[in-house]
Amino acid sequence: MSHCQQFTLSSITSTLSQEFNNKLEDNIEGLWSTEDHVSVAQEQIRWMKARNNVENCIEYGTRYIEAAPILEAMLEYSVMAGGVDGQRYTACAINTCHHSVHGCQLLLNLAEMWLNYFLYPFKRASRIPSEPPSENTTPDSEDPAGCLALAPGNRTDVADRLLQRDGGRCVITKLPSTKSLPPGFRGKASVTESAHFIRRSLCVNKYASSVTWDIVRHYTHMSANTIDEISWWIDEPENGMTLDIGAHRTFDELEWCLIPQEPNTYKIKHFTEVRVFDAPSETVVFVDRSEPPHSIPLPNREFVALHAAVAHVLHMSGAAVVIDEILDHFEDSASAVPGHDSASERDLPARIAATMLLEGKT
């Protein structure tokens, strides 16, 4: 007999009730200070941690994840993601559950929603190999809305523009790129690529993942216009940087991130003990080094912060391990792999259902 809330296909395709959302909006607009909301939310998380497994655990096939650490991590890194506004949204969401007669169940539902619609899509996207933009992109079965084809920023020169802006070097290792070496150069150089803070795959079927982008909007406090035009931003300089190929791979896989500090200044944060690159400094300062009269925009702080916050929440909550196990189940076996539409709510339930069948669990 399971001791955790069991996953069902319907649970991931539904969201919290409209009544809950209305109460959440009322709390956000209410008179309580953000500090008071945070204090009560922290108390609720401590209360939930003290509950037994039945009331603090979500089951995914034969794998389990506690709900309280997800809520705690989301609250802990909400300021990193969206400042005080992001923190207020997160705390109010937790407290809206608390004020219901079904408080414990709602907290589980909230944690599950953040896991399924926010953390999972970003973690899934981190496992999809980077694909260079193409000027000939056309709508297909994985892009029915044609959002990638319509994005004016979706062009092949983004890597060149980033390389110009970043001074022909990897912004982390500071080694010159093999793509920009002067004649007769001798010494160490780096094979570089353009890296994205928000992955391209998150914009495929963007309109089928409105819940994901609604969470992003509230958690990061990005403007509605930015969210609506996110496919346009994917291949703009504001969403990228030049990285050594090893640094790029591990950045995509959320093994490290850049934590916003002063304007255009970021601190490197590693989540593993493995280092595939040497950074002469833990601080990265972005400067436009392109030749006048042209100028190339620096990274958008909101995009960098979103990547950093997601990485922190995934690692702190333990969700990264569980999601990786689910994804590894297909990559390490002869099992058929469900579709790669990581931004769609259909991807995770398909994987869970297949995992349960393959493991003989009904």
Looking at beta carbons, which pairs linking 98-107 to residues 24 or more positions away fall under 8 Å?
A: 98/40, 98/41, 98/44, 99/23, 100/20, 103/44, 104/48, 104/51, 104/55, 106/16, 106/20, 107/44, 107/48, 107/67, 107/71
Strand 5-6 vs strand 57-60: parallel, antiparallel, or unpaired?
parallel
Cα 200–chain centre separation: 12
CA angle 224, 225, 231 (to 5 degrees): 110
| Better-predicted residue by pLDDT, 101 or 151 | 101
Q: Is the Cα dihedral 140, 146, 348, 271 positive or negative? A: positive
Cα(103)–Cα(40) distance, integer angstroms? 13
Cα(162)–Cα(174) distance, integer angstroms? 14
**Reported confidence tier of residue 352, pLDDT bands at 50, 70, 90:** low
H-helix or E-strand spanning residue 87: helix 78-98
- Beta carbons within 8 Å of 93's beta carbon, 6+ residues apart: 24, 110
Cα(241)–Cα(173) distance, integer angstroms? 12
| Better-predicted residue by pLDDT, 181 or 129 | 181
Residue 137, strand partner residues: none
Q: Please report, rounded to a whole number, the percentage of residues in the chain having pLDDT higher than 90.
A: 57
Cα(311)–Cα(350) distance, integer angstroms? 24
Q: Is residue 16 over pLDDT 90?
A: no
**Reported confidence tier of residue 45, pLDDT bands at 50, 70, 90:** very high
- The strand order across the sheet containing 5-6 reads 5-6, 57-60, 63-66
pLDDT of residue 156: 58
The answer, yes or no, to whether the previous bond of 293 is cis (omega within 30 of 0) is: yes
**Reported confidence tier of residue 21, pLDDT bands at 50, 70, 90:** confident
Q: Residues 343, 203: contact at Cβ < 8 Å?
A: yes
Instruction: Lowest mean pLDDT of 138-147, 233-242, 269-278, 327-336, name the range.
Output: 138-147
- Helical packing angle, 78-98 and 103-114, nearest 10°: 150
Q: Residues 191, 245: contact at Cβ < 8 Å?
A: yes
- 276: DSSP letter: S
Q: Is residue 202 over pLDDT 80?
A: yes
Q: Please report, rounded to a whole number, the percentage of residues in the chain having pLDDT higher than 70.
A: 75
299-315: average pLDDT:
98
Task: Rank 44-58, 142-156, 254-268, 322-336 by mean pLDDT and report only the highest.
Answer: 254-268
pLDDT of residue 101: 58
H-helix or E-strand spanning residue 211: helix 210-220
340-350: average pLDDT:
53
Q: What residues does each domain of the chain span?
A: 5-128+312-358, 147-305
Q: Is residue 77 over pLDDT 50?
A: yes
| Better-predicted residue by pLDDT, 111 or 128 | 111
**Smallest Cα–Cα separation from 238: which of 175, 305, 148?**
305
CA angle 117, 121, 124 (to 5 degrees): 145
Q: Residues 218, 83: contact at Cβ < 8 Å?
A: no
What is the pTM for the complete model shown? Answer: 0.84
199-205: average pLDDT:
79
